[in-house]
Amino acid sequence: MQPRIKRMLVPMRERIVIKRTATHQSPTSKIVIPDIAQEKPQEGEVIAVGPGRILPSGKELTPALAPGDQVLFGRYVGVDITIDGEDVIIMREDDILARLA
């Protein structure tokens, strides 16, 4: 699924823009949990990557991720924003736990 963000997002330094991917859960019981009470997925697709971190030596460290990468991230990291009707998260590259292969 390709995001429909119309405006160009260019994250600053080591920040990354991520679109959450919906995890499909098939109901195994008759209990229905409203969407607002369900936990948000901790998996997403990288939409945009900043130019990288500047080290104290002045050298620029390029990011290890690229747009299109599938990643796992912590539960309470980043800032949730809505742009052009799409919900995305902006977080630091250090907050990414793993890249899915």
How is the chain split into domains, by residue range?
15-21+41-100
pLDDT of 65 higher than 60: yes
- Cα 12 → chain centroid: 15
Label residue 23 by pLDDT band (50, 70, 90).
Answer: low
33: its two tokens: 């949990």
Q: Is 28 exposed, middle or buried (0-12, 13-18, 19+ CB in 10 A)?
A: exposed
pLDDT average, residue stretch 10-34: 75
| pTM above threshold 0.85 | no
84: its two tokens: 């052009």
> Could you say which architecture CATH assigns to the domain 15-21+41-100?
Roll (2.30)
What is the predicted pLDDT for the residue at 83?
Answer: 85
DSSP state of 100: E
Label residue 16 by pLDDT band (50, 70, 90).
Answer: very high
What is the predicted pLDDT for the residue at 40?
Answer: 65
* Phi (first) and psi of residue 18, to 5 degrees: -130, 140
